[in-house]
Amino acid sequence: MTSKKRGVGEGLGLYLVQILVERYGGKIWVEDRVPGHPEEGAAFRFTLKKA
């Protein structure tokens, strides 16, 4: 039996980013890096409130 560490390869980093961005009043979303061509990769965008 193999053991798997929590968070390794499970997107934990993006989850933490989402928690922090939302906690500071921002939003996070994902878009095609090249609009209309999802095979070209993803772009993660976020906004934060101005201090």
Give the span between the Cα atoms of 27 and 49, in whole angstroms: 9
CA distances from 18 to 4, 10, 29, 36, 48 (A): 23, 14, 9, 24, 11
Whether the full predicted model's pTM is greater than 0.75, yes or no, is no
**pLDDT for 51:** 78
pLDDT tens-digit profile of 17-48? 999 999 999 999 999 999 999 999 999 999 99
Residue 2, pLDDT above cutoff 60:
no
Give the span between the Cα atoms of 14 and 40, in whole angstroms: 19
Residue 4, pLDDT above cutoff 80:
no
